[in-house]
Structure 1
């Protein structure tokens, strides 16, 4: 069986070089509990502290500002529920957030929290003026993701954070799709809280982190033995955390080069498809304020799910999994795409391991699959 070309790096990535070796040590040799009082705890505890320093280096933060979690979704939940706990007021998000944010905020409404959802334009961008108009004296938190996982659209986080701070509220961003893909620091973004997911940038699944600016107080979501300064109890996933740290080191070293590489491959794929389909091909997302690796397109008259189903040689994702024309993606719906265009959407996301041959093979396979569907 031919291995398909993998163009789904926004869903997950393979481990970066060296990460597996680091993880294996803490699964086998240095397997102790970091919270134990004997010798077996020393190496695991050191590994967690080292990873905290390594991730802080990637983010331009201090190690004591990093709290490890079990995933990016958990970090989002800790950020939002941790700020809101025991308080009343308003939380502001935007319409194309990750479900971890959307569903957490949906649950907040049952607790009396007023949740305001900002609209986005046809590119998926939030208008800072809409945020300014929505802020109020009782706004507790604004949460806007750094870049969208489906379209790659990058939000003006620094501007949105500045508006939020001027109103006396805190700002959180879900940076799961940008950490390790874009060079930035938490100070450049101006955020108070920031979410990271290890498996999006060459680390393992089941490991995430939340950056907390100094003096930002959050209530724990998981209580217990008091690990992670009492903010996230539970025995640490030492191997996963160590892998996250190793991936952060690799990403910090290579992020600029990978940004250039991915942009070139993304644009080459776009050009090949554009040449084949002409005006029938539509870009979903911002033309340049977009992740360097992400290409979300629709082909007129071709259902995205149907296309991928007859194209097993390409591993990609569809923005709409429904065959009846309904829009299953809240991201595409929020951008006011037509039902047909949303149903046709396919997301290609290249990555560190993608080659020009991969892009060429994928483009030809997609073109042939579309021709096959049209012939039928």
Structure 2
């Protein structure tokens, strides 16, 4: 059975350019901290990727700290932070009534809704989770007003297990990991040269796709998908559609719910039909529970338990979403027959 991947917000398929950069980096024998020729070659690969990430995020290269992923980067909040109720669990784990940092997601992974960055800071510092935003919507750390930002390579076509913490120049933070003092003393441990090389290449490609208007086409495909779902189930609740009156939502994300039909049941049904989708964020979708994000947005428990997320990519076609909508509608009719 052929498979159709519609879960880009969980992880995006590895880009060929990222894979090629990783293969090239595998041939580098040296440690980036070594001063000999082989070490300098490894260091050059890391710094080339740092420049690529900086260009894609709109910051200075010296503000980029490579980490093992966005969750590790979020450990900058370990002392406690005031966290937005709809933020990802990686941030929410550090929520505290008192904190020096206000942490929020720029674009929500479950709903795609883009948040307004507060003009007046609730705390001394502002951290933005831009994991879902970079490469999909215009963003520049330099003009965002943020002091810190976190992102992950695998959300935009890079490898899993590598990410970055962006730290405004001049801001002093405690090391994420103590040890040999790599990454300007902010994250010790020998750099993951292979993953970092793939990260840099992926950011560069993602930025080019954004500038070329690829995601505008994706938004049109997403809207057609929602029209098909609505035709099959007029009572469906589309989370975030109204966000077009504000900052908007990610061009690739559709979150919809039918109270009474559990999200995980829909995910399993679609998986058997050959489609990969999610119920909630990837980090919590394996847990049978209501969406904390939707509850924070004011939705009731039955709605929060029934939501699914379909997230598209630049290579998703209208044929893909037409086949998905047909399969989903057939599953919905079966569900209606069972509960009638």
TM-score (norm 2): 0.91
**Equivalent of 2:297, from 325, 335, 342?**
335
| Preserved CA contact (<8 Å) 1:327 1:339 | no
2:232 corresponds in structure 1 to: 276
**Equivalent of 2:192, from 231, 237, 240?**
237
1:266 corresponds in structure 2 to: 222
The C-alpha deviation readout for 1:227-276, integer Å capped at 9, x for no partner, is: 00110000100011011100111111111412202211111110110111
Cα distance in 2 for partners of 1:33, 1:73 equals: 25
| Preserved CA contact (<8 Å) 2:259 2:305 | no
The C-alpha deviation readout for 1:270-298, integer Å capped at 9, x for no partner, is: 011011111x1111235322111110001
Shift of 1:318: 1.2
Cα distance in 2 for partners of 1:234, 1:3 equals: 41
Shift of 1:355: 1.1
2:332 corresponds in structure 1 to: 370
**Equivalent of 2:81, from 83, 87, 91?**
91
1:19 corresponds in structure 2 to: 18
Structure 1's 234 and 220: CA in aligned 2 closer, same or farther, altered over 3 A? Answer: same
Instruction: Provide the aligned C-alpha RMSD in A.
Output: 1.9
Cα distance in 2 for partners of 1:104, 1:141 equals: 10
Q: Unaligned 5+ residue runs, structure 2?
A: none
Cα distance in 1 for partners of 2:44, 2:60 equals: 16
Shift of 1:307: 2.2
Q: Unaligned 5+ residue runs, structure 1?
A: 85-89, 116-138
1:136 corresponds in structure 2 to: none
Cα distance in 2 for partners of 1:170, 1:308 equals: 38
**Structure 2 counterpart SS, 1:104:** coil
**Structure 2 counterpart SS, 1:211:** strand
Structure 1's 370 and 297: CA in aligned 2 closer, same or farther, altered over 3 A? Answer: same
Cα distance in 2 for partners of 1:91, 1:73 equals: 15
Shift of 1:334: 1.2
2:266 corresponds in structure 1 to: 307
Shift of 1:216: 1.0
1:163 corresponds in structure 2 to: 120
2:103 corresponds in structure 1 to: 143
The C-alpha deviation readout for 1:326-369, integer Å capped at 9, x for no partner, is: 85321122122122212211100001221111111111111111
**Equivalent of 1:292, from 251, 265, 269?**
251
1:129 corresponds in structure 2 to: none
| Preserved CA contact (<8 Å) 1:75 1:210 | yes
Shift of 1:144: 1.1
Cα distance in 2 for partners of 1:201, 1:258 equals: 13
Cα distance in 2 for partners of 1:271, 1:180 equals: 26
The C-alpha deviation readout for 1:192-231, integer Å capped at 9, x for no partner, is: 1111101001111111001111111100121111100110
| Preserved CA contact (<8 Å) 1:322 1:328 | no
Structure 1's 221 and 340: CA in aligned 2 closer, same or farther, altered over 3 A? Answer: same
**Structure 2 counterpart SS, 1:337:** coil
